[in-house]
């Protein structure tokens, strides 16, 4: 009993430590080197744990990790969803408990495999971790937030491989390094238990990992300083800094429009090709409210620039019936040249999943917004280039973003309203994820956010300008388009699929070995 209690407390401490180390690797702490060692304490404990204890330790680690990186969701529930502070935190905790199942399963599998199969951790850890991370990105509508690779968004030479593997390749290498460190730390103990020849997979694996890291950094520096074809486009982003609880109040319509008008006129003096307003930046139904629509069109013709803005539209056609969260592009004469309807809606924010079963949250869903999804991955085509538009949440889905650029394109625009998350870590994390979309598709990113962070990211993932949170301002930059169609854009998540194959082979190998052991035990 005393031994079990000691193991539990030791596991609690190591799992807790790993969760904290990983949490502070992400924005806005940004201590990203810690991600290279954050999993080591947990893995060392799992080495000697049974699968049940490992599951509990992984679950605890995941709870700390995910609550530490997604706690900010409470802010929108509390301030704008009218849910009291404690219940809003409890709802976030429930989400984190679900997300924690993935590291719990990882921990259980790792503990089981490391005892039964002579596979080094540097191979085992990345395959298990990255496969489950990929599943989490798609299961139940998907929640790819806090993927391990995102912690490295500032480490430019290392993350350039994302144009081949996506962010999951960066997660894979980070997990491999953590696994390799465990192998090194455990070598002395294992040498006393096994013959030296049994460590050949570990030694060869360490050499292979070292070579892979050298090649990764060499490729990164090559991409960072490579000349690629493209042309310059001047773009202005407008950050209106409109308070969320006043945004749709009819009494504030004129002040909202005045804020965007004044900032746009100031930006227009720099003669940008394109001016970008944030998600749902116009405080009315564009096209349905004839008077305000007419005023916006008259104003836009004074800018002598194209204007992209977010608006809620009411659609009543055979294919689409209801409200859409959309992006609209007007040319210099005020003509609509492009409309994109948001495809991936936010569960419980823009629609209620399983509505017949979850009827009791209908009021919350309708209050925040009840939209129908778009279906077309359409790009805007202009004299200064073509671009796809991602609205808010969509920028965090690599597989969705790449579909806009399979047949080419010049840059991407993302419009969002992160006022929901206040001054928490949420807006910083959201911005950082756009860095990977730029690298994966080799397309510069233009980001307009209502309260920030707005900014520009080049096709190498370098941040070339960004605004402060909750500041009414605008920013103009020249971006350089990139004509390259990356391997990730062209072929998608092949790396992740190969990783899943390895994962399945591990499961089959473990099952066969377990059967073999049972047969040997029976014959004896």
Q: Got the DSSP string for 302-336?
A: TT-SEEEEEEEEEEESSS-EEEEEEEEEE-TTS-E
Q: Torsions phi, psi of 390, nearest 5?
A: -110, 130
Residue numbers annotated as active site? 279, 342, 392
Q: Which two tokens stand for residue 239?
A: 């950050």
Question: Residue 36's pLDDT is what?
Answer: 98
* 232-491 CATH, one of 3.40.50.740, 3.60.110.10, 1.20.810.10, 3.30.40.10: 3.60.110.10
Per residue, the 3-state secondary structure of 399-439, as one string, reads HHHHCCCCCCCCEEEEEECHHHHCCCCHHHHHHHHHHHHHH
List, for residues 345-398, the tens digit of each pLDDT value: 887 677 666 555 544 444 344 344 578 889 899 999 999 999 999 999 899 999
Q: Which of 111-120, 169-178, 307-316, 419-428 has the largest mean confidence?
A: 169-178
How far apart CA 183 and CA 107 sit, in angstroms, is 16
Task: With CA atoms as reference, report the closest residue to 42 among 110, 136, 131.
Answer: 110
Question: What are the residue boundaries of the structural domains of the chain, listed by start?
Answer: 2-226+493-523, 232-491
Burial of 248 (0-12, 13-18, 19+ CB in 10 A): middle
Q: Which two tokens stand for residue 100?
A: 């924690």
Q: Per-residue confidence at 225, pLDDT binned at 50, 70, 90?
A: very high
Give the DSSP letter of residue 394: G
Question: Do residues 25 and 34 lie in contact, with contact meaning Cβ atoms separated by under 8 Å?
Answer: yes
Task: With CA atoms as reference, report the closest residue to 265 among 238, 292, 234.
Answer: 238
Q: pTM for this one?
A: 0.92
Phi/psi-derived region of residue 119, left when phi > 0, alpha when psi is between -120 and 50, beta in every other case: beta
By residue count, the chain amounts to 524
Q: Torsions phi, psi of 381, nearest 5?
A: -115, 120
Q: Per-residue confidence at 78, pLDDT binned at 50, 70, 90?
A: confident
List, for residues 278-306, the tens digit of each pLDDT value: 999 998 888 888 999 999 998 998 999 99
What value does the mean pLDDT take over residues 221-246?
Answer: 92
Alpha helix positions (H), 225-313: 253-268, 290-300
Lowest mean pLDDT, pick from 11-15, 168-172, 215-219, 227-231: 11-15
List, for residues 174-186, the tens digit of each pLDDT value: 999 999 999 999 8
């Amino acid at each position: 009993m005393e031994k079990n209690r000691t193991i539990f407390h030791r596991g609690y401490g190591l799992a807790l430590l790993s969760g904290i180390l990983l949490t502070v690797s992400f924005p806005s702490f940004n201590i990203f080197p810690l991600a290279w060692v954050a999993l080591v304490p947990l893995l060392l404990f799992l080495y000697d744990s049974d699968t049940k204890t490992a599951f509990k330790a992984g679950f605890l680690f995941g709870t700390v990790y995910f609550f530490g990186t997604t706690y900010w969701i409470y802010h929108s529930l509390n301030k704008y969803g009218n849910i009291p502070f404690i219940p809003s935190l409890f709802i976030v905790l429930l989400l984190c408990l679900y997300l924690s199942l993935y590291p719990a399963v990882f921990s259980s599998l790792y503990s089981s495999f490391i005892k039964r199969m002579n596979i080094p951790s540097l191979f085992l850890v990345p395959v298990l971790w990255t496969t489950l991370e990929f599943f989490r990105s798609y299961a139940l509508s998907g929640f790819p937030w806090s993927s391990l690779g995102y912690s490295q968004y500032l480490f430019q030479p290392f993350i350039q491989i994302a144009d081949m593997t996506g962010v999951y390749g960066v997660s894979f290498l980070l997990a491999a390094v953590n696994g390799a460190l465990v192998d090194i730390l455990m070598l002395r103990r294992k040498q006393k238990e096994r013959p030296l020849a049994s460590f050949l997979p570990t030694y060869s694996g360490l050499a292979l990992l070292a070579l892979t890291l050298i090649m990764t950094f060499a490729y990164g520096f090559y991409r960072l300083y490579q000349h690629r074809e493209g042309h310059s486009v001047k773009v202005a982003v407008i950050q209106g800094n409109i308070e969320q609880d006043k945004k749709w109040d009819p009494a504030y319509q004129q002040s909202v429009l005045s804020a965007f008008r004044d900032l746009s006129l100031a930006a227009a003096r720099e003669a940008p090709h394109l001016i970008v307003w944030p998600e749902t930046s116009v405080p009315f139904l564009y096209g349905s409210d004839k008077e305000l629509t007419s005023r916006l069109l008259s104003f836009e013709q004074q800018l002598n620039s194209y204007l992209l803005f977010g608006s809620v539209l009411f659609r009543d056609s055979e294919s689409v019936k209801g409200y859409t969260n959309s992006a609209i592009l007007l040319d210099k004469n005020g003509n609509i040249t492009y409309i994109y309807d948001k495809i991936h809606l936010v569960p419980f924010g823009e629609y209620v999943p399983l509505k017949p079963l979850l009827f009791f949250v209908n009021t919350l869903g309708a209050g925040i917004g009840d939209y129908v999804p778009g279906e077309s991955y359409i790009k805007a085509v202009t004299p200064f280039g073509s671009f796809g538009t991602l609205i808010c949440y969509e920028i965090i889905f690599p597989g969705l973003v790449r579909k806009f650029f399979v047949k080419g394109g010049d840059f991407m625009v993302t419009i969002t309203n992160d006022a929901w998350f206040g001054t928490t870590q949420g807006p910083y994390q959201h911005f950082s994820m756009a860095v990977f979309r730029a690298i994966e598709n080799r397309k510069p990113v233009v980001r307009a956010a209502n309260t920030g962070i707005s900014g520009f990211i080049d096709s190498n993932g370098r941040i070339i300008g960004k605004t402060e949170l909750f500041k009414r301002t605008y920013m103009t930059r020249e971006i350089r388009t990139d004509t390259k169609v990356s391997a990730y854009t062209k072929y998608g998540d092949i790396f992740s699929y190969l990783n899943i194959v390895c994962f399945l082979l591990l499961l089959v190998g473990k099952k066969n070995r377990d059967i073999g052991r049972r047969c040997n035990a029976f014959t004896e």
